[in-house]
Amino acid sequence: MRTLLIDNYDSYTYNLFQVIAEVNGELPLVYYNDEITLEQISSMVRAGTVHSIVISPGPGTPSNPHDIGVCLEVLQQLHDVPILGICLGHQALALAHGAAVVSAPEPVHGRLSRLRHNGHGLFADIPSGEGFEVVRYHSLLVDEASLPDCLEPVCWTAGGHAAVKLARDASSAASTRGAPGSQPQEPQPQADAQAAEASEGAAAQPVVDGAEGSGPGEGGALLMGLAHRTRPHYGVQFHPESVATRYGIALLRNFRDLAAAALRRQPGRAAAQLPASLPAVRDPVGPPGRLSQLAAWPTPEHQRGAPLRLAWTRLAGVLGGLGGSQGVFERLYGFQDDTFWLDSAAADRGRFSYMGGRGGPLWRKLSYKLPPPRPEEEPREHGRQPLPQHHPEPAAASREQHPEGAAPAAPSTSTCPGAAGPGAGEAAAGGCGTLAADSAAAGAGPEAGAGSGLGAAKDPDPEDAASSSSASSGSASSACGGGHSALGSSLGAPSSSCNPCTASPAPLIGTLTVETPDGATRASPATRGFLGHLQSLLASQRLRVDPEAAAGLPFNFWGGLVGYLGYELKAECGAAHAHAASTPDALMFMADRVVAVDHREGDVYLLAVYDTYDRAAGAGAGPGGKAGGCSGAGAEAACAGGEALARAWLAETQRALEAATAAPSASSADVDAASSAAQRPVGRNPEAGPEPGCSQPPVPFVLEHSRTAYLANIKACHAALRAGESYEVCLTTALSRPAAPDPPTLYRTLRQLNPAPYAAWLQFGPAGPTICCSSPERFLLGDRGGLLEARPIKGTAARVQGDAAADARAAAELASSEKERAENLMIVDLLRNDLGRVCEVGSVHVPGLMDIESYATVHQMVSTVRGVRRGGVSVVDCIRAAFPGGSMTGAPKVRTMAIIDALEARPRGVYSGCIGFIGLNDTFDLNIVIRTAIIEHAAPPPTATSTPTAPATELEASAPAAQPGATGPGEQRDASSRLRGCRMTIGAGGAIVVQSELEAEYEEMRLKARALLRAVGLAEGLGGPVPVLAD
């Protein structure tokens, strides 16, 4: 059975998509409510392309045509088509027949209610009352007293509402997950899927708290379900697709069976098109989703024609002798310009760290800036994310009339062709292009010191792309049902019911600036946007995965892109481009030299990526016959030297590290973190100026929104929540000042004061910015075998230092907080939706729900969402599907981001974006940028004739007196080594829900900035946090 799923621009639609596909055995077709007409839907029904319709939840009210689109017409005109309306769709069913939709006695978002029903077939095999608990997300509801005779009430609340609670108590959660030193569950990509499935059942099974809430249910039951008396039309106010709803899968199975029965009663071919038997439903109670079998890694598509190779070596057990990760970084890179350190500073929670600097011939720095926003800009396509959409391809004539795909024509009955996702079919040399063999030396580190560098590199136009097949790019989206292997052959072969992607909305054309190893830069328009450029680059710059490396390297980052994607890049993911950031919207290094640290085993790995070119067989040729990053004049000679350069760098770096471990009594100018850097108190630059108590007055931070303004924004969020425009709004602000401490000193201080598993140091040269990040939150991991993982954090409580009992109580109170659990559940369901867009059907699951993890300064409520990336979906597709991270937006995401744009009235920049790596081996790992200081240097942007950076010819000593890049043009240091003439910002905020209290939310925002404020103060010798001017 094939279902049309009408999407009301909700953030839970793809949770429904996943469950409907599993229940029906076929992928539903998905259209937004304003991109398809009643006539087109009728045509699909007559052709047998669609047998039933589900109308999704969504923001707003059914009385607003902008919110409901075609749905009212569908309900009024398609009498014989089985239809199920959910939440907003349920309200639309009532409104279509004259009933009233009114404000609920109390908005209920992310909380559970026990329901009773009258035995209607929609609730077959579902208990009434005890055991039937559902999640509600709504501020409006249908007034039962206004129902016309044609609508039958079938389901009601049975008591009040309550918070989701796991089948364990708060003290157990705190002791097993929240104790200092405990480790979060790491994904095990090669683990047996059945074992993983069995282990997660208890962890993700929500129950209703024994104490009922004091909500409106006590005063009278609220209507939760409707059925038309003569048509196969049904509605439910609650969310059957939520991870915390029990029997949601059974309800959708029952709708399927009711639809099949209704169709079989109808004469004609509709009944004949139904299969003789419908799929059995596994686990109708829930929660939905289980781990699917992981794919082989690497995929044949990735390996085919991959032009890049890897040279590597392992230095076993040397980490302790080098003073840990900090000792390795300071010895090799010393906080120089253009360095990165993806730093698992909380080594008990993150096993690997990665670092590097200006590298070899493939090294690049990519800086991207969106065009200025237009004042009148609205979210394009009402926030459609330019991802593979699941509906038939419109006819050519319709496309010409509606270039953005706003009014697709009815599908033909011919077999659908394959369709590529955004950027597939566009392979470019990708900015890692032609290299001259006889150029002067460039680069940094031991390789340059060995005298074997490459000089001026000529890049092709970053947007000069050759066409490529979906096989070579690995970015083609599954076009038809058969492409979704999670359901196997039950979906059938591609036919009239297949559903290729639509064309993506035209991207904003920003400016991409690429810097090469010799320091030369070139700017050009990015005609497909930054994410489109990354799609092309990764398609052509693929690293061949050899069995030896796959077995010998226990980590994923072997080389590739490192840096950040800023929050405003949401404009390339379907949201509005409302504000222009002062920093680049994306900044990334193409790192071809990487040092990886294994904290658990004490090993250090050195990795170097190089290009290949087989002139006889063209083995290194990328898509379209191009030789990846080694093409053009002199390419063969350059590539021939690539391996030699890579191995020379490995040898030189190995000698340097081995010499350091053999000389523990080296001079104080060297880093020996075992006795100094790793063990000393809060790090200070030797010339950092006065100690605490000095006469230098602190430079205070200023809140971008005063206390009064921030409280007013919280009130505005409450108004939006009550109006049904959002379920949760992640409101933020920024603290800024025109000064910053010495950046290396700040980062040393921060990683000691607030160690975090997804911390990072990023330094992008004299023009900056410099980023000191101590994030505890993973945005999205793309692991081997296609495993995707998000670990959203929602829920924060301050640690109680020096009082273990009070600290445990704080963790327990966080675990039991109804407000915090509601916040967390809403984001978990949002992340399930985002992963559901790109994952195999049935694979999205929640192995960890609302766990408590404790960090140096706060307890956090953390959940884990996983799924298996479906075949043909690229890394960039996955990132685009989930960006920005839902824990920094709220839900529904697109409508809520518009609310945020209006209230905050400023760009977020780097904050709320993500930092991490996107590997050339088809893996990635990105954090959420929180607990982060951004230092913008007073320097002009680089020009096309910028002076090449002088290469480092020897290993840098620890904490040099004047760190390269620490002072930009126009900046000065005062007596305390404080940088003036720059701009430093710290973002902070929190999720606003209906239970939020004004003062508590304001204080939570301040709490989240506290660790950074203290780190800044200590780095400047103040002895405590820097003050903040709130008004």
Q: Is the dihedral of CA 409, 411, 412, 414 positive or negative?
A: positive
Q: Residue 262: which H helix or E strand, with range?
A: helix 248-264
Give the integer Cα–Cα distance in Å for 967 and 937: 7
CA dihedral angle for residue 143, residue 149, residue 150, residue 153, rounded to 10 degrees:
50
Helix, strand or coil, per DSSP, at residue 791:
strand
Identify the bridge partners of residue 848 per DSSP, sorted by sequence position: 864
Return all residues near 779 (Cβ < 8 A) that are at least 6 apart.
790, 882, 883, 885, 914, 916, 926, 927, 928
Helix, strand or coil, per DSSP, at residue 436:
coil
End-to-end, the C-alpha distance of the chain in Å comes to 60
Q: Apex CA 858: angle with CA 854 and CA 859, to 5°?
A: 45
Residue 932 · residue 920 · CB < 8 Å? no
- Residue 524 burial by Cβ neighbours in a 10 Å radius (0-12, 13-18, 19+): middle
Beta strand 164-166 with 206-208: parallel, antiparallel or unpaired? antiparallel
Beta strand 3-7 with 52-55: parallel, antiparallel or unpaired? parallel
Residue 825 to residues 76, 188, 568, 862, Cα–Cα distance (Å): 34, 24, 25, 10
Give the distance between the most distant pair of CA atoms in the chain. 91
Looking at residue 830, its amino acid is: L
3-state secondary structure 243-259: CCCCCHHHHHHHHHHHH
- Residue 348 burial by Cβ neighbours in a 10 Å radius (0-12, 13-18, 19+): middle
Give the integer Cα–Cα distance in Å for 940 and 937: 9
Return all residues near 681 (Cβ < 8 A) that are at least 6 apart.
none
Output the six-digit token pair for 804. Answer: 């273990």
Beta strand 427-428 with 465-466: parallel, antiparallel or unpaired? antiparallel
CA dihedral angle for residue 499, residue 501, residue 503, residue 505, rounded to 10 degrees:
120
Give the integer Cα–Cα distance in Å for 777 and 930: 8
Q: Apex CA 860: angle with CA 856 and CA 862, to 5°?
A: 130
Taking only Cα atoms into account, the Rg of the chain, rounded to an integer number of angstroms, comes to 28
Looking at residue 262, its amino acid is: A
Q: Is the dihedral of CA 627, 630, 633, 634 positive or negative?
A: negative
Identify the bridge partners of residue 228 per DSSP, sorted by sequence position: 151
Give the integer Cα–Cα distance in Å for 264 and 278: 13
Listed residue (775, 771, 774) closest to 751, CA to CA: 774
Q: Which residues are catalytically annotated? A: 87, 239, 241
DSSP 885: P
CA dihedral angle for residue 338, residue 344, residue 350, residue 354, rounded to 10 degrees:
30
Identify the bridge partners of residue 103 per DSSP, sorted by sequence position: 140
Return all residues near 144 (Cβ < 8 A) that are at least 6 apart.
153, 223
Residue-wise DSSP of 631-652: -STTHHHHHHHHHHHHHHHHHH
